[in-house]
């Protein structure tokens, strides 16, 4: 059965190549910092499931120390000039979008097809991970198509990946760290503690208050953790399951779907979310510029989610 390693191994190979090329880049005075950082990151993908929890924890601490103390240098590998890129874009036109669109197309088709493929009654692809695996296949197919369309040398793919990842820097490991934080919170019983505190504060019998507390809590915890998936188990254990579903008989599916949307509103307003850090780093925007642009929309959508959940969750 094809499992998550089918997605992790290609990513690990890419980061290992970035580490090797970083070590060979004499123009970067922090090349050994870069090589060690991306090498450890590659190891987490290639052998993270083999080395155990303690070793993974040590690996992450080492990466944090490298990124926080020594820092990562910005590489400047030789690449095309602005005129060459403009000429290539003029020649390729709409074909430039083909590799980008291939990734979601492959993920969608793979999700629908791979889950049904079986060999001797056994699924060929792990049904629980079919979307992630399809996404990985889509990324690899898009890379092959991009090389064929642009006709770039093979090394250019690693050089451009290295340039982009160096600009992103330590923020590259933020999603993994925040996901781990969510698991720690859940195991520590934070959800139950939150539920007890909020349950005492909420007016007895007020379904709207429970819905508002759940949605606002999803947004707030997501802002703290930077990830709605990390906040979800905490708030469901504390408010969603015992109050909205258990006490007031709300629909669990609607509660979960709209609750996640409320959490995503929080991701638009926090520097902990990688998608607020990475664009700013790549485009060299002022600190907080992305969040300031997104916050008004996030607040409006959050209010709409509260109203929508109150309207729907108790009707079905």
181 in any annotated domain: no
Across 203-217, average pLDDT: 89
- Are 207 and 295 contained in the same domain? yes
Q: Which position has the higher pLDDT, 1 or 310?
A: 310
Q: What pLDDT does residue 126 have? A: 81
pLDDT above 80 (res 216):
yes
Residues 230/223, Cβ–Cβ less than 8 Å: no
Q: What pLDDT does residue 261 have? A: 93
For residue range 270-304, list pLDDT tens digits in order.
887 767 777 776 677 787 888 889 999 999 999 99
Identify the domain containing residue 35 by its residue range: 5-70
Tell me phi and psi for residue 111, to 5 degrees. Answer: -60, -40
Compute the distance between CA of residue 255 and CA of residue 232 in angstroms, rounded to an integer.
11
175 in any annotated domain: no
- Are 194 and 304 contained in the same domain? yes
- Are 22 and 103 contained in the same domain? no
- Are 199 and 288 contained in the same domain? yes
Across 82-110, average pLDDT: 84
Q: What pLDDT does residue 295 have? A: 92
- Are 65 and 104 contained in the same domain? no
Residues 215/309, Cβ–Cβ less than 8 Å: yes
Q: What pLDDT does residue 20 have? A: 93
- Are 15 and 40 contained in the same domain? yes
| Domain final position from 142, 157, 172 | 157
256 in any annotated domain: yes
306 in any annotated domain: yes
Q: What pLDDT does residue 39 have? A: 93
Among 89-93, 108-112, 294-298, 304-308, whose mean pLDDT is lowest? 89-93
| 75 half-sphere exposure, CB direction, 13 A CA radius | 29
174 in any annotated domain: no
Crossing angle of helices 5-24/130-150, nearest 10°? 40
- Are 86 and 66 contained in the same domain? no
254 in any annotated domain: yes
Q: What pLDDT does residue 187 have? A: 76
Q: What pLDDT does residue 219 have? A: 94
- Are 40 and 104 contained in the same domain? no
pLDDT tier at 54, thresholds 50, 70, 90: confident
Residue with the two structure tokens 């870069």: 34
pLDDT above 90 (res 15):
yes
- Are 49 and 91 contained in the same domain? no
- Are 205 and 290 contained in the same domain? yes
Among 31-35, 65-69, 179-183, 233-237, whose mean pLDDT is lowest? 179-183
Tell me phi and psi for residue 75, to 5 degrees. Answer: -80, 155
Q: What is the pTM of this model?
A: 0.72
- Are 28 and 86 contained in the same domain? no
Tell me phi and psi for residue 218, to 5 degrees. Answer: -60, -45
Among 109-118, 147-156, 170-179, whose mean pLDDT is lowest? 170-179
Q: What pLDDT does residue 96 have? A: 82
Across 139-155, average pLDDT: 83
Across 146-160, average pLDDT: 81
Mean of the per-residue pLDDT values of the chain: 84
182 in any annotated domain: no
- Tokens matching residue 178: 């925040």
Q: What pLDDT does residue 192 have? A: 73
Number of domains in the chain: 3
DSSP string across 279-293: HHHHHTPPTTHHHHH
pLDDT tier at 37, thresholds 50, 70, 90: very high
Q: What pLDDT does residue 316 have? A: 64
- Are 43 and 153 contained in the same domain? no
170 in any annotated domain: no
Q: What pLDDT does residue 283 have? A: 73
Q: What sign does the dihedral 11-15-21-25 (CA atoms) show?
A: positive
pLDDT tier at 105, thresholds 50, 70, 90: very high
């Amino acid at each position: 059965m094809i499992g998550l390693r089918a997605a992790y191994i290609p990513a690990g190979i890419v980061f290992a190549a970035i580490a090797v090329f970083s070590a060979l880049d004499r123009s970067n005075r922090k090349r050994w910092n870069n090589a060690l950082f991306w090498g450890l990151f590659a190891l987490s993908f290639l052998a993270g499931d083999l080395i155990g929890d303690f070793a993974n924890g040590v690996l992450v601490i080492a990466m944090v120390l490298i990124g926080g103390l020594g820092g990562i240098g910005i590489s400047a590998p030789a690449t095309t000039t602005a005129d060459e890129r403009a000429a290539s874009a003029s020649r390729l036109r709409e074909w430039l979008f083909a590799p980008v669109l291939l990734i979601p197309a492959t993920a969608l088709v793979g999700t629908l097809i791979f889950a049904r493929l079986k060999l001797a009654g056994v699924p060929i692809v792990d049904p629980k991970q079919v979307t992630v695996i399809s996404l990985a296949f889509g990324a690899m197919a898009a890379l092959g198509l991009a090389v064929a369309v642009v006709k770039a040398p093979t090394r250019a793919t690693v050089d451009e990946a290295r340039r982009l990842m160096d600009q992103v820097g330590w923020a590259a490991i933020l999603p993994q760290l925040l996901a781990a934080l969510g698991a720690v919170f859940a195991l520590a019983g934070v959800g139950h503690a939150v539920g007890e505190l909020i349950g005492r504060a909420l007016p007895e019998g007020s379904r709207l208050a429970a819905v508002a507390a759940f949605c606002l809590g999803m947004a707030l915890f997501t802002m703290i953790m930077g990830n709605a998936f990390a906040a979800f188990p905490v708030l469901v254990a504390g408010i969603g399951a015992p109050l909205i579903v258990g006490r007031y008989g709300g629909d669990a599916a609607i509660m979960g779907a709209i609750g996640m949307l409320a959490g995503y509103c929080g991701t638009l307003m926090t520097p902990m979310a990688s998608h607020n850090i990475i664009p700013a780093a790549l485009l060299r925007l002022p600190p907080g510029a992305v969040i300031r642009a997104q916050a008004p929309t996030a607040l409006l959508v959050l209010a709409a989610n509260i109203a929508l959940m109150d309207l729907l969750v108790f009707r079905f």
